[in-house]
Amino acid sequence: MNTARQLRDKLEHARRLMDEGEPTLADLAASVGLSASHLQRRFAERFGLSPAEYLSQRKLGTLKGALREGSDVSAALYDAGYGSPSRVYEGGAAKLGMTPARYRAGGAGEQIRWSIADTALGQALVATTERGICMIELGEDAAALEAKLHAEFPRAHLERVDAGRDEFLAPRLRAVADALAGRQAQVPVDLIGTAFQKKVWDALMKIPHGQTRSYTQIAEEIGHPRSMRAVANACANNHVAIVVPCHRVVRGDGSLGGYRWGLPMKQRVLERERVA
């Protein structure tokens, strides 16, 4: 068995051990026969997360699943491996974007304002919390756009606001419309994701207007040079595309790669930026 294959097997073994329990980094390293520092580095390169971040996200996923199924909050926290309610925030469950109780209730209590605006590339639905933009959707069917919003936040308080009549929402609508027209736009966003995803999204927002970067270049920039696939997944899970410009990430050969609204839309957005 070659060395590269042996390393992959050890990393997969480490991942399985964390799926089954909560080993310390030292125990994990000893179990797979690697030094702690080597395991930490190689695991992050392969999976896009450190072992600690992987454990945190696994626990968070367990918590989310239990809450969605209607489990009691205290029981869900315990079953997910959180020793106390306060640990849920220390361990990263703030990535729920709301308290566990609100998440279990389908977002009940969250205040979200939204509107649909005509842009150079069709209709855009923009939704905001008090912290910033939380969702952008593009399409030609206003009813379908609204249905996606309700599916994403089923029990939040959703308030439609006519464009231009809300001092918080209006400038964000204009910024999205400007971005779709190829003009530069910067607005606060409410990003909810893993630590790795946020690193990727931060890197995307640093790509100069009208330029592109490859998935490999982004992976190298955030310190995970072998995590191109994880970078692509982070782009795919970007719910505020356009203002977090995943359209500026392409394959190493210059081809477009993927895009949540299709490659023709990605091409149009890039072309408008280049001529603006």
Spatial contact of 256 and 250, defined as CB atoms under 8 Å apart: yes
Residue 93 pLDDT: 36
3-state secondary structure of 109: coil
Helices (H), 97-194: 100-104, 142-152, 169-180
Residue 191 pLDDT: 66
- Does residue 246 carry a catalytic annotation? yes
Residue 91 pLDDT: 47
Measured CA distances, 177 to 47, 52, 125, 126, 158 (Å) = 35, 39, 10, 10, 21
Selection from 147, 155, 158 nearest residue 111 by Cα: 158
Q: Annotated catalytic residue: which of 63, 77, 156, 246?
A: 246
Residue 34 pLDDT: 92
User: Each residue of 32-58: pLDDT tens digit?
Assistant: 999 999 998 888 777 766 788 777 777
Q: What's the CA angle centered on 246, arms 244 and 251, to 5 degrees?
A: 160
Give the β-pairing of 157-160 and 111-119: parallel
Measured CA to CA, the distance from residue 13 to residue 15 in angstroms comes to: 5
Residue 30 pLDDT: 93
3-state secondary structure of 140: coil
Q: Which residues of the chain have pLDDT under 50?
A: 89, 91-97
- Print the SS3 string covering 216-274: HHHHHHCCCCCCHHHHHHHHHCCCCECCECHHHEECCCCCCCCCCCCHHHHHHHHHHHH
Residue 95 pLDDT: 46
Spatial contact of 193 and 97, defined as CB atoms under 8 Å apart: no
Measured CA to CA, the distance from residue 146 to residue 133 in angstroms comes to: 16
